[in-house]
Amino acid sequence: MSFLFHAATPSYADEKLSTHLSSLSTIPANLPPSTSSLQNNKPSKPSPLLQTALHDLSAPKPASFERLIELLESLSDHRQQQQGYGVVENGNELDGIMEMEVMGRAVTMVWKEVLQTFVDGAMELEQERGWWDSALSSRRGVGVYLLQTMPHRIYSALPPRSNMSIPQFKAFKLPSRDALFKPLHSTTSAALTSITSPYVLTRREMLASRKELTHARDEAARRVGLLATQGPQWGSEERKDGGVSISAVEDISGETSRLYSALCQALDVPPPRSPPPSTSKRSRSSNIAVAPITASPASLLVLLRTHLPQARAKIDKTLTTHRRPSALTRLWFPLLFLPPTLYVVVSAITRNKEWMKEQVRNAKETVRGFFVQWVWEPLEGIGKTLRGGGEGLGVAPTTVKSDQASLERMVLDLGKDYYHLSGPALDALGEKVRNGDMEEVLRVYEKEMQSPVKNALMGSLVRTLLIQVQKTKTDLSLSLLSLDHLLRSQQLTFAFVGVAPSVLVLYGLQGWLQGVWKGEKRGKGRRREYFNGLRSIERLLITAPKGKEEMSDRDRGLLIVSVSGMRTWAAGLGGSSRDSFLDDLRMVEDPGLTRGDKLRVVERIWRCWGVEGKKTV
């Protein structure tokens, strides 16, 4: 049942990776005519390791994180055996060109992994921050949080359990207020805490957690914006140096170095070396001086194995410290009512055990009867009709012919005995009977009815009555035979009409289950997610610094994070609806559009999808 599964929507990093790798494939990386191997007419053979790496990195499906690390390890070991970057000792420049493209693809995939890590971290931080916002929006939320966390506060204020003796336990007193709540500031005195209400102390704790989450989210969003701004630009424009076009190999090498520098800047990694002032080049997408740092497999491995996990660990540390309380902490108070509720429910079921069993049996029979009698049997009948042509009333054509022949013989005998017909006259009477004309019989009947008692005993009255009975029987047989042909010709139509109600019921149930599985029928939560996500995007576009058409790295990163949340929401939409919705989101992410154009796109989303995320057309 494939309708129970749906494909997740592609992320921003995945789509950009596919685009950049496609652009990299269009850059020609041919050998120059002056290559020594070409002059000697000795074609060079590339390294099998580089061939394997280029094949894996050029596959339609990008290599996984683990496979990328394996390839970089192999390339790093290969690098240690070589002297130089582009030309090996035997003069084979083909290996240098292949290694250049492999490094370009590898650094692009590393860029995608780093970007995806910061986007995911920022989304998690934003989710936790949204929970604190909803809890702080009312006094009730703060009071509920205080009640939820009170057992944990008391447990944390207790003295160390290892040193707790029986006398100390007897002399134990409830902890003071300053032990239950975190200090407002590092210099806050216990006296100030003691005169502050528990509500205010709880609210300040919640505000402090939200502040830390906001700061961490903004920092992650800034790095997302930096990576998006200084992302790969393979073949975006013709690079020249002093009016002379730079070769494709130098273009890939320079872009690889620039992208590696952007990764170092996003991960707060000091560059391996400082460039001379005369060799510094500026990024084509910003005014920041970019060092011509040479990326290597070993340096990319350091980014993936050391600095990227450190960045993720920093985000996880903030989440661990300032995330919402655990599910058990939030639900301990409602769980107190679970035992009495279960007791009441179990008692009610025990008292009405027989009635419950009867209802369960009735439900099983109802479901079984629906599927057997209204779904399976009609479908089986359709199959039989398609194979054998269907079944009618069971009237045989030979029976109708026998009745009609008997009627004809009875009328002919009456013509011989009463009218004394013979020869052509008798044949004409038989033809009339075959055409349904019973005029001669009716004349005899009318004449005999003039003396019904006498003719019933001595005449032909009874004989004419029996002939009319046979006529009625023959007409009935003909009607049944016609009805039989009609049923046989329309039985397939009747079969589909019979199964149509059950099919409609199953179709509606399937649509409902599919909507529940995808999230379309999850009610207010899904509608609220759509509404708040789109409002967040619109607010970012409106509140960006005035007078600047280009957004800052932080604002651009927050915009990408908000749109990524809407991408996750779009996984619950149908195929065509999801594609059109994702097209609008891509326009919001497009750095080539101005803020005014993006606001118009947001207005179009409001107009086409409404405030509940339902397509209006």
Domain boundaries, the chain: 10-35+44-161+174-237+246-336, 351-388, 397-518, 524-609
Distances (CA, A) of 355 to 345, 348, 358, 361, 463: 14, 11, 5, 10, 68
| DSSP letters spanning 406-454 | HHHHHHHHHIIIII---THHHHHHHHHHHTT--HHHHHHHHHHTTSHHH
User: Of the ranges 5-14, 484-493, 608-617, which one carries the lowest mean pLDDT score?
Assistant: 484-493
* CB-CB contact of 121 with 315 (8 Å): yes
Predicted local confidence at residue 87, as pLDDT: 42
Distance from C-alpha of 14 to C-alpha of 60, rounded to nearest angstrom: 12
pLDDT range class, residue 210, cuts 50, 70, 90: very high
Q: Determine which helix (DSSP H) or strand (DSSP E) holds 282, and give its type and residue range.
A: strand 281-282
Q: Of 593, 595, 482, 493, whose CA–CA distance to 538 is shortest? A: 595
* CB-CB contact of 333 with 147 (8 Å): yes
Give the highest mean pLDDT range of 146-150, 209-213, 396-400: 209-213
**pLDDT digit string, tens, across residues 148-183:** 988 888 777 776 666 556 665 555 555 555 566 766
Predicted local confidence at residue 564, as pLDDT: 93
Predicted local confidence at residue 521, as pLDDT: 52
**pLDDT digit string, tens, across residues 250-301:** 678 888 889 999 999 999 988 665 444 433 344 443 433 334 456 788 899 9
pLDDT range class, residue 548, cuts 50, 70, 90: low
Predicted local confidence at residue 183, as pLDDT: 61
Distances (CA, A) of 401 to 397, 404, 406, 408: 6, 5, 9, 11
Distance from C-alpha of 298 to C-alpha of 300, rounded to nearest angstrom: 5
Report residue 390 as tokens: 């269907």
Distance from C-alpha of 230 to C-alpha of 557, rounded to nearest angstrom: 12
Distance from C-alpha of 468 to C-alpha of 442, rounded to nearest angstrom: 9
Instruction: Provide the H-helix boundaries in 158-289.
Output: 166-170, 177-180, 190-194, 198-229, 248-266
Task: Check residues 457 and 298 and name the one with the higher pLDDT.
Answer: 298
Give the highest mean pLDDT range of 225-234, 370-379, 507-516: 225-234
**pLDDT digit string, tens, across residues 299-358:** 999 999 999 999 999 999 999 999 999 988 888 988 889 999 999 998 988 888 889 889
Q: Of 557, 601, 569, whose CA–CA distance to 225 is shortest? A: 557
| Percent of the residues in the chain that have a pLDDT greater than 70, as a whole number | 76
Instruction: Provide the H-helix boundaries in 230-352.
Output: 248-266, 297-302, 308-322, 327-336, 338-351
Rounded to an integer, the average pLDDT of 513-542 is 78
Rounded to an integer, the average pLDDT of 566-576 is 83
Stated length of the chain = 617
Distance from C-alpha of 178 to C-alpha of 6, rounded to nearest angstrom: 52
Report residue 362 as tokens: 């009735």
φ, ψ at 243 (rounded to 5°): 85, 0
Rounded to an integer, the average pLDDT of 75-89 is 61
User: One-letter amino acid identity for 220?
Assistant: A
* CB-CB contact of 255 with 232 (8 Å): yes
* CB-CB contact of 480 with 533 (8 Å): no
pLDDT of 62 over the 50 cut: yes
pLDDT range class, residue 243, cuts 50, 70, 90: very low
* CB-CB contact of 328 with 291 (8 Å): no
pLDDT range class, residue 561, cuts 50, 70, 90: very high
pTM of the predicted model as reported, rounded to 2 decimal places: 0.71
Distance from C-alpha of 483 to C-alpha of 190, rounded to nearest angstrom: 99
pLDDT of 84 over the 60 cut: no
Predicted local confidence at residue 40, as pLDDT: 47
Q: Of 559, 516, 518, 513, whose CA–CA distance to 9 is shortest? A: 518
Predicted local confidence at residue 244, as pLDDT: 36
Query: 422-459 burial, b for 16+ CB within 10 Å, e for fewer?
Result: eeeebeebeebbeeeebebbeebbeebeeeeeebeeeb
Under DSSP, the state recorded for 176 is: P
Average pLDDT, the chain: 79
pLDDT of 217 over the 90 cut: yes
- The rounded Cα 390 to chain-centroid distance in angstroms is 44
**pLDDT digit string, tens, across residues 109-150:** 999 999 999 999 999 999 999 999 999 988 999 999 999 988
Give the highest mean pLDDT range of 83-87, 331-335, 386-390, 484-488: 331-335
Report residue 547 as tokens: 């007078």
Give the side-chain half-sphere CA count within 13 A for 167: 0
